[in-house]
Amino acid sequence: MKFDVLTLFPEMFEAIKQSVIGRAMQKKIIEINLINIRDFSKDKHKKVDDTPYGGGAGMVMMPEVVYDAYCSINKKEQAKVIYLSPQGKTLNQKKVIELSKEEHLILLCGHYEGVDQRVLDEIVDEEISIGDYVLTRRRNTSNGTNRYC
């Protein structure tokens, strides 16, 4: 089974190359490719976020950058594209068994307020949430701005 993970933070996934998953990779049972979306930015500062198309609060990942990262993937077979977002259906054992039958999964990891809706309309097959919890939270800094920690 092949996994391509589109993310702004590929270094966060290095830990999965250990233990059971690491051994499965060594035995060529699974293949995991990490694609840094930021590598496809054409901006000299590697900017990947912009205001949402049509307006709205917050920032979203720009469609061109995400789409270019998606197009860089070698898709010999039909791949299922999953957008990991809080709005998706919650991942459960039944869904895991269903997904385990796929040959190739492309996982798009959201950030900011998500990704531009045009990306979801064009390439995403399904939205899945990994659960109802917060991994990072916003805090106020000394200068009054919000940061995630």
Residue 113 belongs to domain with CATH number? 3.40.1280.10
**Token pair for 111:** 């950030």
Q: Which pLDDT value is given to residue 148?
A: 46
Question: What pLDDT, on the 0 to 100 scale, is given for residue 142?
Answer: 58
**Per-residue model confidence as pLDDT tens digits over 50-82:** 777 666 767 778 889 999 999 999 877 789 999
Most confidently modeled of 56-60, 112-116, 137-141?
Answer: 112-116
CA neighbor of 54 nearest in space, from 123, 12, 7, 117: 117
Residue, of 27 and 48, whose pLDDT is higher:
27
Q: What does residue 138 show for φ and ψ, rounded to 5 degrees?
A: -85, 140
Structural domain that includes position 34: 2-148
- Count of structural domains within the chain: 1
Quote the mean pLDDT of the chain.
86
Residues 3-18 have pLDDT tens digits of: 999 999 999 888 888 8
Cβ contact 124:20 at 8 Å: no
What tokens does 84 get? 């990991």
Spatial separation of the C-alpha atoms in residues 4 and 101, rounded to whole Å = 16
Question: What is the pLDDT at residue 62?
Answer: 84
